[in-house]
Amino acid sequence: MNALTYESPGSLDEAVKLLAAAKGNAKVLAGGTDLLVQLRMGMIKPAMIIDIKKIPELTAINEENGGYRVGASVSGAVLGEHDGMKAAWPGVVEAFELIGSTQIQGRASMGGNLCNGSPAADAVPAMIAADAVCTIAGPNGRREAKVEDIVTGPGQTSLANGEIVVDFLFPARPARSGDAYLRFIPRTEMDIAVVGAGISLTLDDAGVCTDARVALGAVAPTQLLLQDGAAALIGSKLDGAAMEKLDAAARAACRPITDKRGTIEYRIKVAGVLARRAAKIAQQRAEG
Amino acid sequence: MAKIHVTTTINGEPVEFLCEPQQTMLDVLRDELRLTGSKEGCATGDCGACSVTVGDRLVCSCLMLGAEAEGQEIETIEGMADGDTLHPLQQKFLEEAALQCGICTPGVLIAAKALLAKNPDPSESEVRYWLAGNLCRCTGYDKIIRAVMDCAADMRGA
Amino acid sequence: MTVESKKYKWVGTSPVRPDGNDKVTGRAKFGADLMLPGMLTGKVLRSPHAHANIKSIDTSKAEALPGVKAVITSADVAELESEWVPAGELQLNFRDLAHNIMANGKALYDGHAVAAVAATSAAIADAALDLIKVDYEVLPHVIDVEEAMEADAPVLHADMFTDGVTPKPTKASNIFKEVDIAVGDVEAGFAKADLVVERSFKTAPVHQAYLEPHAAVASFSEDGQAELWCCTQGHFVVRAYCAKLLGMDIADLRVTASEIGGGFGGKTTVYLEPVALMLSRKAGKPVRAVMTRDEVFRASGPTSGAASWVKVGVTNDGTIVAGEAILKYQAGAFAGSPIQPGCMCAFAPYDIENVKVKGYDVVTNRSKVAAYRAPGAPISEHAVESVIDEIAKKLGMDPIELREKNAAREGTNAAYGPKFGVIGFADTLAAAKAHPHYSAPLGPNQGRGVASGFWFNIGGSSSATVNVNEDGTLALATGSPDIGGSRASMAIMAAETLGIEVTDVRPIVADTASLGYTFLTGGSRVTFATGMAVIEASKKIALELRERAAKTWDISVDAVIWEDGLAKPAGANAGDFEPLTLADLAAKANQTGGPISSAASLNAEGAGPGFGTHICDVEVDPETGAVKVLRYTAVQDCGQAIHKAYVEGQIQGGAAQGIGWALNEEYIYDEKGRLDNASFLDYRIPVASDLPMIDTVIVEVANPTHPYGVRGVGEVPIIPPMATVANAIDSAIGIRLTELPMSPPRVLAALDNGS
């Protein structure tokens, strides 16, 4: 039997040291909503679990230059009660809050949602659309990376041995900006996304889209950032033609699989639908 | 395999226990502390039968390690009644037949109590979404939802 | 017996259930909640293959692991003769049962038990399972029912030669038996028809998905006696099965039913119970075994998936002149699907002159099916009720009026044999038609559907004892595990019969050594059959109380009546005595003959058939295929409702399960025949936010054979929903979906194909 140990360091330095010393045999525990399931199912057999919730900066939400820095261990329930983030990045908050039940929300973290590496992670497309940047601490100090550069494949990330995601910076955004995230699931709750679409955009005074980011989840081995999708919106008033272009761009980008949660055909079609619908919600939010 | 010594508070009482690192809070409650009111329906966070509150947060105790209870305040179904007086939700569930087999009931009650603490006047839709993580296979949820809403109304009036 | 017509004091009310307090405080003890000193943890090793020969099992390393106290394989299970015995509405073969609890030579499905261990901790038991070496020879497998029927399909059992075919086949196949039901001449019937509709349907296997996993605690003594605690719908049945499997005298096994966290038919057989007993016998210590959710889905019974074909002919005025069906039901790895009741129920709601139904019971490499609410009926009636709806639409007739025109009524000869007595099908149709739901306006992309359902309801053996306590309160014991509030209905019937307060009756579920045989909780039989035993035992108490009063007053027992909870002189001639209460008589019991108690055991006959009619509104998202249930109304003839709120609850729960069956629930297998969705995450039962309130209308057409008119309620409500939802979707989008579940990808594909 494996001799598992549990550590709950009070500082990031300590956590990084433990993680690096374990040479890949340790797992970071934030909310545990994925980790403990994998442990229970015997999918992972780590030698050490490092609980990072006692590290203050990982559980903090701070305003920073008009934007927000959100600790990687902040739970969905806590973020959902944060008025500043709700006003600034409603799409990010709603995406995070879609993960699991109320009970899961009490624990699940954005850092975990990202680092679990699931293509279907709900928070990730919204974070990518928001152009969020994460801080990563490791044996060689700190670095920053765009959220879209973290997941490299199902269950795979670009984090090096000993690295921990510390927080996410959601930047200040121009006036008349809005974001939204929609996902499709067979039920109304408790499912993994079959398709997810996150969109962030900015409008000028005439209602013309001047900037946009479009991200999809669950339709490829990683979340996708769609340049064509953004191009379809920028310069338009999100009229019918732009929506059709967005729909087509979303469908064209998909490289999904057929599995127990949905078919290739279904995912492709619904990706276009959700992209359009999310764009319209983001537009309404931008218009205030 | 060294056991971990944990000092915590459960249902208002100071509690100490020893647990193995991989033991979940649910395992600890049921097997070590013999608080079997929290049920294991899935062990993967999908059914809510093991719901407890940790501080002011509702969680699945199957998705929390026993070791994480250190210094926390945990409430389980065993602490819901006040002495020999049932909590209004418990009473309402009995009066309105909001349970059949009763296996999901502890988790549903804990979750509903957490809801009313945050939102004393929830809409039907809010109750349904809040309780979406508490599976019930017997009732079709109808009487559960009604009991929670009726209890909320009573508690607002009281 | 005649139906008592007087106004009831308790029957039809909704008092707080007597076991309720324990269930809202966490005190109630369910299957996994019992802990005995020195108890070991039992765990089961399961086949990862859908079909494989087991060439060898090496348990030596597991046995050598410190903390392991027993390891068993099929070598520890005695081989039994192939012997079929009745099991409620289904049949059970003891040899198959033995092979299902522990694979014998061959693993027949993903999750099939191949070995089990008992160890001093769960972690050691897990480690021991890892140390058991099983040498498998993987064989070709078959999952789909129609593929399993093909001539070149992999054969599961070399000795299966189809029953019901003459001459008996000489080549083994996966078809265990064929069932035929025929009335009249369907060819002649179809010749008279102005419109004939035929359709093929597929339904997925769906699991009962009770929230409580199977659990058993077994404790064997050195003298060969044993005790077993388990969550079951029938502890007497568990006793019989386990005694047979372990070669024990029935008297040596005492089974206590724990509180049961849902069953719906799925806890009417045994899985872990005999295994825990065998482990305990071998280890000499108590053993607790509890399934994980994964094991529940992989190894315990779902109900059949099926392929069906239905053809119905009508004349232009809506008279159904012929109905024909072919039904192919998966049994799972061992014979015994609910094909018989499926065939019997298919056309049962209707008065049709010419009916022909052919059924096939087919084995496949899936877990053996178990009963699930009205076993067999939802599958065949889904197909028929879908076709009836299509006919109504083609005739331009209101679907309820079409059903009313053809509804079975008192005196109708049911296609499956008997002549119906007093039934309430037409009453449910009338109530549905009059319900405001049926005429409420609908919005865009919305549609309304209607469908009906029939179930026999059953009776059977039940026992009850009543003990009058020294203070005049009553201890009432039955042998029927209480899944959904039946203690409350038992208390109501005892209180009603004796004219006393319902809170003066304390009902319990007694163990197998404490009262007479009681068949399991299922088939909607408990309130009917066990209720009759309770009423009988209560009447005996009333008679005894009259005798005690007669003795007290020194008059003839004929001169004493029992009325409103009091012994009274029958009239002025009987004498002038103050009435005696139960408490008075109980206090003086020792002076009048000793303790007052009674027992009743009976085999209840004359169960009253049940019918229901459901109405559902849905909204279909034309871009995603998502179906939202907007409104749902379930009308059912329950006979007399005893505990009204729990009758409503049964209807609501059954309807919700049916909605899950209709929309999202299914067993999904990978290409190797392994179950791919063995969790509540991907086996998608309805969650609270998926459903609207489920309105109920209880129609009370009393069953004349029950003292209070009970029919039974639990089975019928799962039958109509699948067709009700399908018919609503058809109304919304103009497309008839014939495959369940009607999941978003399937609905969207149908929308895209326009058919």
CA angle C37–C38–C43, rounded 5-degree value = 115
Touching check for C609 and chain B: CB below 8 Å?
no
Interchain CB contact of A177 with B (< 8 Å) = no
Percent of chain C with pLDDT over 90: 95
User: Does C720 reach chain B within 8 Å, measured CB to CB?
Assistant: no
Q: What is d(CA A141, CA C499) in angstroms, rounded to the nearest whole number?
A: 81
Of the candidates C627, C653, C694, the residue with the CA atom closest to the CA atom of residue C209 = C653
Nearest chain B residue to A99 by CA distance is B133
List of residues 6+ apart from B66 with CB closer than 8 A: B4, B6, B17, B19, B20, B23, B24, B25, B27, B28, B32
Domains and CATH numbers, chain B: 4-79 (3.10.20.30), 88-157 (1.10.150.120)
SS3 A103: helix
Q: Which residues of A are less than 8 Å from C752 in CB distance? A: 269
Q: Which residue of B has its CA nearest to A8?
A: B68
Domains of chain C: 20-27+459-604 (3.30.365.10), 34-139+212-261+267-299 (3.90.1170.50), 306-457+608-753 (3.30.365.10)
Alpha carbons C32 and C291: distance in angstroms, whole number = 9
Residue numbers in A near B115 (CB within 8 A):
102
> In this structure, how many other beta carbons lie within 10 angstroms of the beta carbon of residue C200?
12
Structure tokens at A129: 């659309």
| pLDDT mean over C345-362 | 98
What is the reported pLDDT for C755? 61
Q: Which of A280, A288, A284, A186 is nearest to A233 (CA)?
A: A280
Minimum Cα–Cα distance from B96: chain C residue = C645
pLDDT in tens, C474-501: 999 999 999 989 999 999 999 999 999 9
Report field, pTM of the whole predicted structure over 0.95 = yes
Taking CB atoms and an 8 Å cutoff, what residues of chain A touch C626? Answer: 184, 186
Q: Which residues of C touch A261 (CB under 8 A)?
A: 682
The pLDDT confidence band at residue B1, using thresholds 50, 70 and 90, is low
For residue range C702-741, list pLDDT tens digits in order: 999 999 999 999 999 999 999 999 999 999 999 999 999 9
Strand partners, B57: B54
Domains belonging to chain A, first-starting first, are 5-51 (3.30.43), 56-170 (3.30.465.10), 177-287 (3.30.390.50)
pLDDT digits (tens, 9 = 90+) for C533-584: 999 999 999 999 999 999 999 999 999 999 999 999 998 888 999 999 999 9
In B, minimum Cα distance to C17 occurs at: B94
pLDDT digits (tens, 9 = 90+) for B70-112: 999 999 999 999 999 999 999 999 999 999 999 999 999 999 9
**ipTM metric:** 0.98
- The reported pLDDT for the residue numbered C85 is 86
> What is the predicted pLDDT for the residue at C2?
41
Mind listing the pLDDT tens digit for each residue in C391-429?
A: 999 999 999 999 999 999 999 999 898 999 999 999 999
State yes or no: pLDDT of C68 exceeds 70: yes
Q: Are B13 and B60 in contact (CB under 8 A)?
A: no
- Look at residue A103 in the predicted model and tell me its pLDDT: 98
Mean of all residue pLDDT scores within chain C: 96
Pick the residue from chain C with its C-alpha nearest to A100: C681
Chain A 104-143, residues with CB within 8 Å of chain B CB atoms: 104, 106-107
Confidence of residue A157 (pLDDT cuts 50, 70, 90): very high
The per-residue pLDDT of chain B, averaged, comes to: 97
Distance from the B70 Cα atom to the nearest Cα atom in chain C, whole angstroms: 23
* pLDDT of A193 above 90: yes
Does residue C754 have a pLDDT over 90?
Answer: no
Task: Check residue C436 and give its pLDDT.
Answer: 98
Q: What is the mean pLDDT of residues B48-65?
A: 98
The model's pLDDT over C261-285, given as tens digits with 9 standing for 90+, comes to: 999 999 999 999 999 999 999 999 9
Alpha carbon distance C637, C409 (integer Å)? 13
Using the beta-carbon criterion (under 8 Å), do B63 and A8 form an inter-chain contact? no
- Name every residue whose Cβ is closer than 8 Å to that of residue C745 and which is 6 or more positions away in sequence: A262, A263, A265, A266, C625
The chains found to touch A (3+ Cβ pairs under 8 angstroms) are: B, C
Q: Name the DSSP letter for residue A105.
A: H
Q: Bridge partners of A138?
A: A141
Rounded to an integer, what distance in angstroms lies between the CA atom of residue C477 and that of residue C482?
A: 12
Measured in residues, chain A has a length of 288
- Residues A106-141: pLDDT tens digits? 999 999 999 999 999 999 999 999 999 999 999 999
pLDDT at position C3 over 90: no
Q: Which residues of A touch B129 (CB under 8 A)?
A: 188-189
Share of chain C above pLDDT 70, in %: 99
DSSP C511-552: -TTTSS----S-TT-IIIIIHHHHHHHHHHHHHHHHHHHHHH
Structure tokens at C30: 């369910």
Does C123 touch chain A if contact means CB atoms closer than 8 Å? yes
The tokens describing C347, both together, are 């056309």
Asked if the Cβ–Cβ distance from B142 to C687 is below 8 Å, we say no
Q: Binning pLDDT at 50, 70 and 90, where does residue C287 land?
A: very high
The residues in C 613-642 lying below 8 A from A, measured between CB atoms, are 623-626
pLDDT, tens only, C612-625: 999 999 999 999 99
Whether residue A47 lies within 8 A of chain B, CB to CB, comes out as: no
pLDDT digits (tens, 9 = 90+) for C414-470: 989 899 999 999 999 999 999 999 999 999 999 999 999 999 999 999 999 999 999
C-alpha to C-alpha distance for C189 and C702, rounded to whole angstroms = 34
Nearest Cα of chain C lies from the Cα of A187 at a distance, in angstroms, of 6
Residue C83: band (very low, low, confident or very high) from pLDDT cuts 50, 70, 90: confident
Q: B51: which chain A residues are within 8 Å (Cβ-Cβ)?
A: 103
Contact A106 B45 (CB under 8 A): no
Query: Any chain A CB within 8 A of the CB of B71?
Result: no
In the structure, what pLDDT confidence band is assigned to residue C6 with cuts at 50, 70 and 90? low
Pairs of residues, one from chain A and one from chain C, whose beta carbons lie less than 8 Å apart: 56
Amino acid at C153: A
pLDDT given for residue C286 in this prediction: 98
Neighbours of C102 (CB within 10 A): 22
